[in-house]
Amino acid sequence: MDGNDGTVKLGTLNMKPDRCFNLDSDVSVSSPVTRQKAAAAKQFIENHYRNHHQRLQDRKERRRALQRRAEEAQISNEEQEEIMRDLERRETEYMRLQRHKVGIDDFEQLTVIGKGAFGEVRLCRAKNTGEIFAMKKLKKVEMLRRGQVEHVRSERNLLVEVDSRCIVKLFYSFQDSDFLYLIMEYLP
């Protein structure tokens, strides 16, 4: 204990045993870039937990619906248990697939269907399912040079948040060292 107030001095941090860490007043205010990164991290975490909670609710609802159908069909208890075990196996496999990190190697690029200021839009096919998507491939250097990073981030966030039949659905977004990829539903 350093001070008369019961604090422990740890460099520029003061820690009161009964409180969280307190920063000294000499710590400078964060930069706009730091605030932007913090906001992006906050958005990511909120989206992650919102989606996780929704997936859990959906899973419970599927289980309840299957139990109701099994009871209505007057299936024996043994058959009901087998059906529920099968559902659990399928749910586990689905969750395993959801944890897979998606990347450019998961898609076969077919043809260019549009060009824009930062890149192009390609028709592509998911290698594992054969589904057709539109792949927006954006050059990161161009976005930075033109100061459009925030606009692209806003577009991506909008596509993630909005659930409307009037706006294309964003399925995946990922990046490599040169490009940002947005994998969206393809509307011919």
- Cα–Cα distances in Å, from 146 out to 31, 118, 149, 152? 21, 9, 8, 11
Task: Give φ, ψ of 18 to 5 degrees.
Answer: -100, 5
Task: Give φ, ψ of 94 to 5 degrees.
Answer: -60, -45
Smallest CA-to-CA distance from 3 within 14, 11, 12 is with: 14
**Known binder of ligand: residue 16?**
no
Task: Give φ, ψ of 120 to 5 degrees.
Answer: -145, 165
Binding site listing: 136
Binding site listing for ATP: 136
